[in-house]
Amino acid sequence: MKNLENRVRKIFENKFVKSVSILASGSIISQFVVLVSSTLLSRLFSVSDFGYLSVFVSVSTFFAVLSTGRFELAIGLPEEEIEAKKIIKLIIYIASTVVGVYLFGIVLLKDLMNINDGTGFLNSPTSYLAPFYIFLVAVYSALGYWYQRKKDYRQITLANALQVISTALISIVFGVFHFSNGMIYSLLCGVAISTLYLFFKDRELMKLNEDRTSLLLI
Protein backbone atom coordinates (compact mmCIF):
# COMPACT_ATOMS: atom_id res chain seq x y z
CA MET A 1 0.00 0.00 0.00
CA LYS A 2 2.81 2.37 0.88
CA ASN A 3 4.56 1.57 -2.38
CA LEU A 4 1.40 2.51 -4.27
CA GLU A 5 1.10 5.77 -2.34
CA ASN A 6 4.73 6.59 -3.03
CA ARG A 7 4.28 5.94 -6.74
CA VAL A 8 1.18 8.14 -6.87
CA ARG A 9 3.01 10.87 -4.97
CA LYS A 10 5.96 10.70 -7.36
CA ILE A 11 3.62 10.97 -10.32
CA PHE A 12 2.00 14.15 -9.01
CA GLU A 13 5.37 15.59 -8.02
CA ASN A 14 6.60 15.20 -11.59
CA LYS A 15 7.01 18.63 -13.24
CA PHE A 16 5.48 17.48 -16.50
CA VAL A 17 2.41 16.08 -14.76
CA LYS A 18 2.08 19.29 -12.74
CA SER A 19 2.24 21.39 -15.89
CA VAL A 20 -0.34 19.27 -17.67
CA SER A 21 -2.66 19.32 -14.65
CA ILE A 22 -2.42 23.11 -14.38
CA LEU A 23 -3.24 23.61 -18.07
CA ALA A 24 -6.02 21.02 -17.91
CA SER A 25 -7.61 22.64 -14.87
CA GLY A 26 -7.62 25.99 -16.66
CA SER A 27 -9.29 24.44 -19.70
CA ILE A 28 -11.94 22.78 -17.54
CA ILE A 29 -12.74 26.03 -15.76
CA SER A 30 -12.89 27.93 -19.05
CA GLN A 31 -15.19 25.37 -20.65
CA PHE A 32 -17.46 25.44 -17.61
CA VAL A 33 -17.72 29.24 -17.79
CA VAL A 34 -18.50 29.05 -21.52
CA LEU A 35 -21.17 26.42 -20.90
CA VAL A 36 -22.88 28.43 -18.17
CA SER A 37 -22.64 31.79 -19.93
CA SER A 38 -23.82 30.46 -23.31
CA THR A 39 -27.22 29.70 -21.79
CA LEU A 40 -27.62 33.31 -20.71
CA LEU A 41 -26.13 34.79 -23.86
CA SER A 42 -28.52 32.83 -26.08
CA ARG A 43 -31.37 34.68 -24.38
CA LEU A 44 -29.71 38.09 -24.39
CA PHE A 45 -28.51 38.15 -28.00
CA SER A 46 -30.19 37.31 -31.29
CA VAL A 47 -29.19 34.73 -33.87
CA SER A 48 -27.86 37.51 -36.11
CA ASP A 49 -25.58 38.69 -33.29
CA PHE A 50 -24.06 35.23 -33.06
CA GLY A 51 -23.72 35.20 -36.84
CA TYR A 52 -21.80 38.48 -36.88
CA LEU A 53 -19.61 37.19 -34.06
CA SER A 54 -18.80 34.04 -36.03
CA VAL A 55 -17.88 36.02 -39.15
CA PHE A 56 -15.81 38.50 -37.13
CA VAL A 57 -13.84 35.74 -35.40
CA SER A 58 -13.30 33.78 -38.62
CA VAL A 59 -11.93 36.74 -40.57
CA SER A 60 -9.87 38.08 -37.68
CA THR A 61 -8.35 34.71 -36.79
CA PHE A 62 -7.15 34.20 -40.35
CA PHE A 63 -5.31 37.52 -40.39
CA ALA A 64 -4.09 37.03 -36.81
CA VAL A 65 -2.11 34.01 -37.99
CA LEU A 66 -0.55 36.10 -40.75
CA SER A 67 0.21 38.96 -38.38
CA THR A 68 2.61 36.88 -36.28
CA GLY A 69 4.49 35.38 -39.21
CA ARG A 70 4.45 32.24 -37.01
CA PHE A 71 7.60 33.59 -35.38
CA GLU A 72 6.06 32.91 -31.96
CA LEU A 73 7.03 29.26 -32.46
CA ALA A 74 10.68 30.33 -32.33
CA ILE A 75 10.47 32.13 -28.99
CA GLY A 76 11.47 29.01 -27.08
CA LEU A 77 14.49 28.22 -29.27
CA PRO A 78 17.19 30.81 -28.35
CA GLU A 79 19.43 29.99 -25.40
CA GLU A 80 19.48 33.61 -24.18
CA GLU A 81 16.29 35.39 -23.17
CA ILE A 82 17.39 38.61 -24.82
CA GLU A 83 17.17 36.85 -28.18
CA ALA A 84 13.69 35.59 -27.35
CA LYS A 85 12.61 39.13 -26.48
CA LYS A 86 13.86 40.29 -29.87
CA ILE A 87 11.50 37.80 -31.49
CA ILE A 88 8.62 39.22 -29.45
CA LYS A 89 9.51 42.71 -30.65
CA LEU A 90 9.67 41.42 -34.22
CA ILE A 91 6.18 39.92 -33.86
CA ILE A 92 4.87 43.23 -32.55
CA TYR A 93 6.36 45.07 -35.54
CA ILE A 94 4.97 42.55 -38.03
CA ALA A 95 1.55 42.63 -36.37
CA SER A 96 1.52 46.43 -36.46
CA THR A 97 2.34 46.40 -40.17
CA VAL A 98 -0.29 43.79 -41.02
CA VAL A 99 -2.89 45.61 -38.94
CA GLY A 100 -2.09 48.91 -40.66
CA VAL A 101 -2.46 47.35 -44.10
CA TYR A 102 -5.64 45.57 -43.05
CA LEU A 103 -7.18 48.76 -41.64
CA PHE A 104 -6.34 50.59 -44.85
CA GLY A 105 -7.98 47.78 -46.82
CA ILE A 106 -11.17 48.04 -44.76
CA VAL A 107 -11.35 51.81 -45.25
CA LEU A 108 -10.68 51.38 -48.97
CA LEU A 109 -13.31 48.70 -49.51
CA LYS A 110 -15.92 49.98 -47.07
CA ASP A 111 -15.74 53.76 -47.28
CA LEU A 112 -14.10 54.58 -50.60
CA MET A 113 -15.34 51.79 -52.87
CA ASN A 114 -18.58 51.06 -50.98
CA ILE A 115 -18.22 47.31 -51.46
CA ASN A 116 -20.71 45.12 -49.61
CA ASP A 117 -19.54 41.57 -49.05
CA GLY A 118 -21.90 38.64 -48.81
CA THR A 119 -21.03 37.88 -45.20
CA GLY A 120 -22.04 41.32 -43.97
CA PHE A 121 -18.65 41.84 -42.36
CA LEU A 122 -17.95 45.16 -44.08
CA ASN A 123 -21.49 46.35 -43.45
CA SER A 124 -21.00 46.18 -39.70
CA PRO A 125 -19.29 49.04 -37.83
CA THR A 126 -17.38 46.40 -35.86
CA SER A 127 -15.24 45.73 -38.95
CA TYR A 128 -13.04 48.59 -37.77
CA LEU A 129 -12.42 46.68 -34.54
CA ALA A 130 -10.97 43.69 -36.37
CA PRO A 131 -7.45 45.18 -36.79
CA PHE A 132 -7.20 45.90 -33.07
CA TYR A 133 -8.42 42.40 -32.23
CA ILE A 134 -5.88 40.92 -34.65
CA PHE A 135 -3.05 42.87 -33.04
CA LEU A 136 -4.05 41.81 -29.52
CA VAL A 137 -4.35 38.15 -30.54
CA ALA A 138 -0.89 38.28 -32.13
CA VAL A 139 0.69 39.79 -29.01
CA TYR A 140 -1.23 37.43 -26.73
CA SER A 141 0.03 34.44 -28.72
CA ALA A 142 3.62 35.68 -28.48
CA LEU A 143 3.34 36.23 -24.74
CA GLY A 144 1.88 32.76 -24.31
CA TYR A 145 4.96 31.22 -25.93
CA TRP A 146 7.17 33.46 -23.80
CA TYR A 147 5.64 32.03 -20.64
CA GLN A 148 5.91 28.53 -22.10
CA ARG A 149 9.61 29.19 -22.54
CA LYS A 150 9.82 30.07 -18.86
CA LYS A 151 7.66 27.05 -17.99
CA ASP A 152 5.28 29.33 -16.12
CA TYR A 153 2.14 27.41 -17.00
CA ARG A 154 0.27 28.85 -14.06
CA GLN A 155 0.27 32.32 -15.60
CA ILE A 156 -0.85 30.92 -18.96
CA THR A 157 -3.76 29.16 -17.25
CA LEU A 158 -4.72 32.27 -15.29
CA ALA A 159 -4.57 34.41 -18.42
CA ASN A 160 -6.77 32.00 -20.38
CA ALA A 161 -9.28 31.80 -17.54
CA LEU A 162 -9.21 35.57 -17.14
CA GLN A 163 -9.92 36.02 -20.83
CA VAL A 164 -12.87 33.62 -20.85
CA ILE A 165 -14.39 34.90 -17.60
CA SER A 166 -14.01 38.59 -18.46
CA THR A 167 -15.41 38.04 -21.95
CA ALA A 168 -18.42 36.18 -20.55
CA LEU A 169 -19.15 38.74 -17.83
CA ILE A 170 -18.81 41.74 -20.14
CA SER A 171 -21.00 40.01 -22.74
CA ILE A 172 -23.70 39.45 -20.14
CA VAL A 173 -23.54 43.10 -19.03
CA PHE A 174 -23.74 44.32 -22.63
CA GLY A 175 -26.60 41.91 -23.28
CA VAL A 176 -28.59 43.13 -20.28
CA PHE A 177 -28.28 46.72 -21.49
CA HIS A 178 -28.99 45.68 -25.11
CA PHE A 179 -25.64 46.97 -26.34
CA SER A 180 -25.37 46.45 -30.10
CA ASN A 181 -22.69 43.90 -31.09
CA GLY A 182 -21.91 43.48 -27.41
CA MET A 183 -20.31 40.06 -27.84
CA ILE A 184 -17.75 41.41 -30.29
CA TYR A 185 -16.83 44.30 -28.00
CA SER A 186 -16.60 41.93 -25.03
CA LEU A 187 -14.37 39.60 -27.05
CA LEU A 188 -12.02 42.49 -27.71
CA CYS A 189 -12.07 43.50 -24.04
CA GLY A 190 -11.34 39.94 -22.90
CA VAL A 191 -8.28 39.58 -25.12
CA ALA A 192 -7.06 43.04 -24.09
CA ILE A 193 -7.38 42.23 -20.38
CA SER A 194 -5.55 38.90 -20.64
CA THR A 195 -2.82 40.39 -22.85
CA LEU A 196 -2.19 43.24 -20.42
CA TYR A 197 -2.14 40.75 -17.56
CA LEU A 198 0.60 38.66 -19.17
CA PHE A 199 2.58 41.71 -20.20
CA PHE A 200 2.64 43.45 -16.83
CA LYS A 201 3.07 40.21 -14.88
CA ASP A 202 6.65 39.85 -16.11
CA ARG A 203 8.94 42.80 -15.46
CA GLU A 204 11.34 41.64 -18.16
CA LEU A 205 8.67 42.24 -20.80
CA MET A 206 8.26 45.82 -19.60
CA LYS A 207 11.90 46.41 -20.53
CA LEU A 208 11.46 45.60 -24.22
CA ASN A 209 11.91 49.24 -25.20
CA GLU A 210 15.21 49.41 -23.32
CA ASP A 211 16.80 46.93 -25.72
CA ARG A 212 18.04 48.99 -28.67
CA THR A 213 19.69 46.06 -30.44
CA SER A 214 18.77 45.82 -34.09
CA LEU A 215 16.26 43.14 -35.04
CA LEU A 216 18.48 42.30 -37.99
CA LEU A 217 20.81 40.56 -35.54
CA ILE A 218 18.21 37.93 -34.61
pLDDT over 60 (residue 12): no
In a domain, 125, yes or no: yes
Q: In terms of residue numbers, what domain contains 149?
A: 49-217
- 153-202 pLDDT per residue, tens: 889 988 998 999 999 999 999 999 988 889 999 999 999 999 999 999 88
Torsional class of 70: left (φ above 0), alpha (ψ -120 to 50), beta (otherwise) = left
What mean pLDDT do residues 79-100 have?
90
In a domain, 61, yes or no: yes
In a domain, 160, yes or no: yes
pLDDT at 209: 62
pLDDT more than 90, % of the chain:
33
Whether residue 150 contacts residue 16, with contact meaning beta carbons closer than 8 Å, is answered with no
pLDDT over 60 (residue 6): no
Determine which of 16-25, 132-141, 201-210 has the lowest per-residue pLDDT on average.
16-25
* Average pLDDT over the chain, rounded to an integer: 82
Q: Which is it for the CA torsion 61, 62, 64, 65, positive or negative?
A: positive
Q: What is the pTM of this model?
A: 0.83
In a domain, 135, yes or no: yes
pLDDT at 140: 94
- Rounded distance, CA 72 to CA 21, Å? 24
As for how many domains the chain has, the answer is: 1
Whether residue 194 contacts residue 166, with contact meaning beta carbons closer than 8 Å, is answered with yes
pLDDT at 154: 87
Q: Which is it for the CA torsion 204, 205, 210, 212, positive or negative?
A: positive
- Rounded distance, CA 70 to CA 149, Å? 16
pLDDT band at 216 (very low <50, low <70, confident <90, very high): very low
- 104-139 pLDDT per residue, tens: 988 887 777 777 766 667 777 888 899 999 999 999
pLDDT at 190: 95
pLDDT at 28: 77
Please count the residues of the chain. 218
Neighbouring CB atoms inside 10 A of 39's CB total 8
What mean pLDDT do residues 89-99 have?
91
What mean pLDDT do residues 14-26 have?
61
**49: Cβ contacts below 8 Å, ≥ 6 apart:** 181, 182, 183
pLDDT over 70 (residue 14): no
